[in-house]
């Protein structure tokens, strides 16, 4: 309990507020359809002034943070009083939530009694610093999921957004957070297959995440500018480059990517590989797996293992993707995989694991390549290097698919529909998220 008192003595009265900057919906008018933009304006009108808070574990690293840096300012521009706050946690808490994260994606490791106690204690500590004075509370992923247990009389509509693959969870771990999930007014999953088979869940909505086409990570970048940026990291811009952008995480299989690269190198000796990741404070395993990846590379001078600690930010990631002969996302488990969306949006030939939400983004043989092994990944990359023109045709089709389905204005519209529904407002005529029958 001494640790708890120290937390409260030095803590502010509110959870950390994230400055997400400013964005204007008008800037997206040339990218989204007029019909979609009109629908957003119509749906936003009855929500003007409503207070909305997003709660998540971190303000950097991973898809949730990237989405929120666009979604929150666009909600604000639409007239909502939206904000984003970050929960607190010590190393012991992040270790527990990483175990929960892995367990919900099928890892057999369960939770000890001490880990359960740690999780519950940090939910209470964060709840003590949360002002329950909102119309909507949007909770992202398992880390803050239990905070709702401390607000049984909240006037807000609470929505839980799961960003990972829940299709084959460790049942013991899932049963641990299930009582909290049941308290929410709605839950959102990327795919219908992710909705857990459990009774008592709130209404479940299915919609995928999205990327911001105007963010520095996805904005138009010329081939010349991309080459100039990549060159600063020692890449030989005259030789072909394969790139995977992801956290250093066993589910992303960077070791398998290295295996695939080595097979490609047998036919294309000049090929290079960049593994570009980010280190997030809520991912304590990241450093261990980063070190494993470096060791597995074995000092190969054509393998570049980079992260935000090497000053690789959003623009640099953009440059690596634009400059690459192929963008890889060889996940063996994946909630959705926005790096696939990013590669397709940049018209890059994209090779990705046949798992999770990736299969909703790539039509195998039409817009990209879906693979099940390192050897299949290598074969796809070899096809791309042998016939870059055919590969580009697939990539062009992939970009148009992203334009129609996976850009931020569509995601904003989905949220506006759900909020109106939770308030009992008329949403007739709007394309609403699919409600899963559970």
What pLDDT score does 350 carry?
98
Residue 62's region, left for phi above 0, alpha for psi from -120 to 50, else beta, is left
Give the CATH number for residue 343.
3.40.50.2000
Mark whether 361 and 395 lie in a shared domain.
Answer: yes
Strand ranges for 57-194 from DSSP E: 81-86, 136-140, 157-161, 186-189
Instruction: Supply the mean pLDDT for the chain.
Output: 92
In a domain, 344, yes or no: yes
Average pLDDT on 73-93 reads 97
Q: Which residue has the higher pLDDT, 404 or 285?
A: 404
In a domain, 218, yes or no: no
What pLDDT score does 424 carry?
94
Average pLDDT on 240-267 reads 96
Element (H, E) at 6: helix 2-10
Residues in the chain: 438
What pLDDT score does 282 carry?
59
Mark whether 291 and 309 lie in a shared domain.
Answer: yes
- Give 116-152 pLDDT, tens digit per residue: 999 999 999 999 999 999 999 999 999 999 999 999 9
Mark whether 270 and 413 lie in a shared domain.
Answer: no
Strand order, beta sheet including 157-161 = 16-17, 81-86, 51-56, 136-140, 157-161, 186-189, 204-206, 434-436
**Whether pLDDT at 340 is above 50:** yes
**Whether pLDDT at 2 is above 80:** no
Which tokens go with 95?
Answer: 């270790």
What pLDDT score does 11 carry?
45
Mark whether 168 and 250 lie in a shared domain.
Answer: no
Mark whether 205 and 291 lie in a shared domain.
Answer: no
Q: Where are the alpha helices (DSSP H) in 312-387?
A: 314-323, 338-345, 374-386
What pLDDT score does 3 carry?
42
Mark whether 82 and 158 lie in a shared domain.
Answer: yes
In a domain, 181, yes or no: yes
Mark whether 166 and 261 lie in a shared domain.
Answer: no
Mark whether 137 and 200 lie in a shared domain.
Answer: yes
How does DSSP assign 36-87, residue by residue? Answer: HHHHHHHHHGGGTT-EEEEEES-SSSSHHHHHHHHHHHHHHHTT-EEEEEE-
**Whether pLDDT at 202 is above 50:** yes
Q: Which residue has the higher pLDDT, 382 or 250?
A: 382
Calpha distance 396→222 (Å, rounded): 16
What domain range includes position 49? 2-210+407-436
What pLDDT score does 380 carry?
98
What pLDDT score does 436 carry?
53
Average pLDDT on 183-206 reads 92
What pLDDT score does 9 carry?
45
* 26 contacts: CB under 8 Å, gap ≥ 6: none
Q: What are phi and psi of 88, to 5 degrees?
A: -105, 155
* pLDDT classification of 223: cutoffs 50, 70, 90: very high
Residue 224 exposed, middle or buried by CB count within 10 Å (0-12, 13-18, 19+): exposed
- Give 260-293 pLDDT, tens digit per residue: 999 999 999 999 999 998 776 556 677 889 999 9
Which tokens go with 82?
Answer: 């939206």
Average pLDDT on 215-224 reads 95
Calpha distance 392→350 (Å, rounded): 10
Mark whether 172 and 293 lie in a shared domain.
Answer: no
Q: How many domains does the chain contain in total?
A: 2
Contact 186, 157 (CB under 8 A): yes
* pLDDT classification of 1: cutoffs 50, 70, 90: very low
What pLDDT score does 241 carry?
98
């Amino acid at each position: 309990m001494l640790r708890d008192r120290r937390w409260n003595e030095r803590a502010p009265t509110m959870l950390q507020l994230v400055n997400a900057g400013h964005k204007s919906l008008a800037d997206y008018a040339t990218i989204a359809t007029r019909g979609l933009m009109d629908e957003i304006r119509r749906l936003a009108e009855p929500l003007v002034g409503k207070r909305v808070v997003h709660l998540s574990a971190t303000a950097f690293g991973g898809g949730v943070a990237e989405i929120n840096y666009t979604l929150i300012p666009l909600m604000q521009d639409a007239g909502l009083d939206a904000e984003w706050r970050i929960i607190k946690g010590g190393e012991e808490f992040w270790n527990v939530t990483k175990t929960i994260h892995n367990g919900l994606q099928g890892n057999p490791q369960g939770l000890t009694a001490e880990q359960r106690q740690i999780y519950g204690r940090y939910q209470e500590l964060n709840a003590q610093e949360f002002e329950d004075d909102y119309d909507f509370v949007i909770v992202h992923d398992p880390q803050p999921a239990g905070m709702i247990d401390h607000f049984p009389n909240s006037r807000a509509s609470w929505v839980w957004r799961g960003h990972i693959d829940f299709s084959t969870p460790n049942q013991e771990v899932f049963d641990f957070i299930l009582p909290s999930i049941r308290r929410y007014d709605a839950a959102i999953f990327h795919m219908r297959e992710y909705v857990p088979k459990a009774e008592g869940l709130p209404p479940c909505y299915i919609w995928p995440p999205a990327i911001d086409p105007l963010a520095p990570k996805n904005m138009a970048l010329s081939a010349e500018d991309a080459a100039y940026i990549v060159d600063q990291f020692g890449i030989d811009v005259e030789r072909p480059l394969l790139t995977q952008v992801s956290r250093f995480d066993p589910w992303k299989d960077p070791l398998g990517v290295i295996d695939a690269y080595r097979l490609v190198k047998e036919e294309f000796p000049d090929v290079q590989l960049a593994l570009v990741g980010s280190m997030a404070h809520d991912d304590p395993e990241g450093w261990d797996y980063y070190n494993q990846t470096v060791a597995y590379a074995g000092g190969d001078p054509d393998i570049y293992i980079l992260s935000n600690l090497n000053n690789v930010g959003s623009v640099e990631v953009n440059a690596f993707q634009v400059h690459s002969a192929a963008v890889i996302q060889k996940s063996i488990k994946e909630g959705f995989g926005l790096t696939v969306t990013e590669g397709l949006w940049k018209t890059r030939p994209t090779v990705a694991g046949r798992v999770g939400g990736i299969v909703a983004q790539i039509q195998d043989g039409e817009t990209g390549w879906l693979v099940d092994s390192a050897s299949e990944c290598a074969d796809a990359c070899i096809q791309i290097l042998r016939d870059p023109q055919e590969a580009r045709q697939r990539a062009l089709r992939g970009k148009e698919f992203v334009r129609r389905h996976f850009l931020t204005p569509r995601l904003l519209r989905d949220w506006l529909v759900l909020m109106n529904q939770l308030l009992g407002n008329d949403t007739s005529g709007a394309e609403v998220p699919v409600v899963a029958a559970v």
